[in-house]
Structure 1
Amino acid sequence: MKHADKELSIAFRSSSPRTKTYGIGSRTIRQYRREGSPIVYVDETYLHSSHTSYSWDDSLNKTLSSPVDKGPRAIIVHGGGKQGFVEKALLMFKSGRKTGDHHHEMNSGNFEKWIQEKLIPNLPPRTVMVTDNASYHNIEVNRAPTSNTKVGEMKQWLAERNISYPASALKPGLYELIKKHKSDNIEYRLDATCAAAGHSVIRLPPYDPDLNPSEMVWGTVKNWVGERNVTFKLDDTMRLAEEKFNSISAEGWAAYCNKVENREDQYFAWEMELKAHHRRERRVQKIRGAGRRPQ
């Protein structure tokens, strides 16, 4: 392998999000953008009461050091895109304390409640929602049968998905069919909830937070809070965070989204180049193999 090709292969393996297939079925996020579909990124983060960027000097030149203990934290959930934050969608609540119906930590129930009550009512029609692979984003419905499932239920699962099977098929054969088609028939509760409201869901490739502009938004908010947090009280920290959220404009969000799109383009180009490299390698191997055939 040439040095340049070796570098390309390493770069691709370490950072490629497989952007060509990053989407729903055959429709990728790039296609949705070309079609003009509204795209909203959804994400969660947290903020400790002790969050600070550096030690502070007050008017008496006394250094204010953050507490050794991180202190209580707030869970933050929001959504946004090139149009800015989704109006009225911000959710902040204290971790480990009951706050209305949202309590303790973020989980599938709290997340779905936020989706239904704060996000979906404020989305434009036919929005494409982009989220990561947090476990509570991926709660399955109508899960595929297991090897312990009754034969009748296996047949029902296959029939509902128009997957044919021999009338004489026994349990082992039915289960092999289920395993073959399982990955193409995963249904998520989040997707069903959004589809009922006319929206779609795209999941980011695993371990690629650099494709989520929300990460840059969180960084901006946390840096701003850290520069101003002098009380280390959670209420004050949350107030500062909300103040900064309210100041981030659609232009600011668009700049973050543009950075992500540039990364997607770069990854996509790497993917296409690496695939071309693999095609070249296969041709070379084929030619070499033909040359070694006995005359």
Structure 2
Amino acid sequence: MGRTSLKKVLKHLKFKYVKRRRNNALIDRDDIALWRIKYLKNMKTFREQGRPIYYLDETWVNAGHTVDKVWEDTTVKTRKQAFLEGLSTGAKNPTSKGNRLIILHIGGEEGFVPESELVFECKGTGDYHESMNAAKFENWVKEMLPRLRAGFRGRGPPLLCCPEASGPLNPALPRLEPTAVVVMDNASYHSRRKEKTSVTSWNKTNIQKWLTSKKITYEPKETKVQLLEKGVKTEYQSYVIDEMAKEVGVEVLRLPPYHCELNPIELVWADVKGYLARNNTTFKMVDVKKLSLQEELKNITPEKWKKLYKPRKKGGNKIRWFRQ
């Protein structure tokens, strides 16, 4: 890339040529930059091969989820005035956020995979990631992956893969093609290792025992760092989910850390939560479920998915071009 072209790219990225200050510069981590390059390269290859690509992700909504701002009549100063004039003082704010509804789903350019959502309720405190764990996620994937084979056909109730979910399991649910690619982020419960490998928290003796169990040779005088290096092999670092997917001919592709903008399902969740915020007037979980699941999720048509999917696809292409 020439100097002039580079200058145009920097301007497009909102960079400005200014006098250096003493504060630190924000730069990419090398490992994340490499991960992003590999991700974009793989995605380009999959699209050229015409492989169907599906995105999965979780989101949450509280019972008290509502809009932050509303139109207010500034001529009404008191409740008494509103009462005398036959006016309303507006909807009351919820007293608390209330319980939380966790929603896990998968979809692609053709829309959500019908009736494949996992939904359960939990207390609304703390990070919602704490309510989801590897066991729940893997159970959901275990039941869904065998069906990701022959394209969408048929409908059925939601998957039953944990006690909190509702609806019986239906073998006639839709499926994905055998060459499907499933994109997900690197959340800890998405990334449980198939086998526990040697880590820096282990002492030297335990690392040696692990290496011996794998028939990996080492010298007794080698340091802990040297021993750890021997244990870092691809065959010992596979993920449970990846192996499950491989068994049914599905490939898993993980987003680089901090790159949720490359996942179009994030825009779908924003649409669902925006609809809920605008229409949530009772702040009751039963109504939140109705608004989120029975109304808005069903309104996310293939056409809307494609509309939301297109800018994310272009965004990935732009990032790939800028990084070349």
TM tier relative to shorter chain: 0.7 to 0.9
Identify which range, 172-181 or 255-264, moves more after superposition.
172-181
**Counterpart in the other structure of 1:276:** none
Aligned partner letter, 2:198: P
2:110 to 83, 97, 109: 83
Moved more, 36-45 or 116-125: 116-125
Identity score, percent:
29
Distance 2:177 2:306 in 1: 17
Q: How big is the shift at 1:259?
A: 1.2
Contact 1:86 1:119 in 2 (8 A): no
The answer on whether the counterparts of 1:51 and 1:66 sit within 8 Å (CA) in structure 2 is: no
Matched residue type, 1:106: M
- Between the aligned partners of 2:56 and 2:136, the Cα distance in structure 1 is 14
Query: Of the candidates 4, 8, 19, which is equivalent to residue 7 of structure 2?
Result: 4
**Does the residue aligned with 1:130 lie in a helix, a strand or coil?**
strand
Verify the 8 A CA contact 1:22 1:203 in the aligned structure 2: yes
Change (3 A) 1:181 1:30: farther
Cα 1:10–1:223 change in 2 (3 A) is closer
Structure with higher helix content: 1
- Structure 1 residues 158 and 201: CA distance shift in structure 2, 3 A: farther
Q: Which residue, 255, 258, 275 being the options, matches 1:224?
A: 275
Calculate the aligned-residue CA RMSD, in Å: 3.3
Matched, 1:20 2:47: no
Q: Deviations over 1:167-218 (max 9, x none)?
A: xx33627962652662645211111111112111111000011011111000
User: 1:111 is matched by which residue type in structure 2?
Assistant: F
Report the Cα distance in structure 1 between the residues aligned to 2:205 and 2:116, rounded to whole angstroms: 42
Go from structure 1 to structure 2 and tell me whether the alpha carbon gap of 1:230 and 1:6 turns closer, same or farther (over 3 Å shift): closer
Alpha-carbon separation, structure 2, partners of 1:156 and 1:175: 18
Distance change >3 Å, CA 51–CA 70, structure 1 → 2: same
1:170 to 208, 220, 226: 220
Give me the whole-angstrom Cα distance separating, in 1, the residues matched to 2:227 and 2:96: 54
**CA deviation after TM superposition for structure 1 residue 4, in Å:** 2.9
Q: Match of 1:264, SS?
A: helix
Q: 2:309: which partner in 1? A: 257
Distance of 1:124 and 1:76 partners within structure 2: 24
Could you tell me which amino acid in structure 2 is paired with residue 48 of structure 1? N
Higher RCO (CA-CA < 8 Å; seq separation 6+): 1
Q: Give SS of 2:106's match.
A: strand
Secondary structure at the counterpart of residue 210 of structure 1 = helix
Counterpart among 24, 28, 48 of residue 34 in structure 1: 48
Provide the residue aligned with 2:232 in structure 1.
Answer: 182
Q: Determine which structure has the larger strand proportion and give its number.
A: 1
Query: What is the TM-score normalised by the length of structure 2?
Result: 0.69
Structure 2 stretches lacking a partner, 5+ long: 16-25, 73-85, 125-129, 148-174
Confirm whether residue 157 of structure 1 aligns to residue 207 of structure 2: no
CA distance in 2, matches of 1:175, 1:154: 13
Q: After superposition, what is the alpha-carbon deviation per residue over 1:110-148, rounded to whole angstroms, capped at 9, x for unaligned?
A: 111111224552332221110011110111122323433
Cα pair distance change 1:69/1:76, threshold 3 Å: same
2: distance between equivalents of 1:172 and 1:83?
Answer: 55
Post-superposition shift, 1:93?
1.1
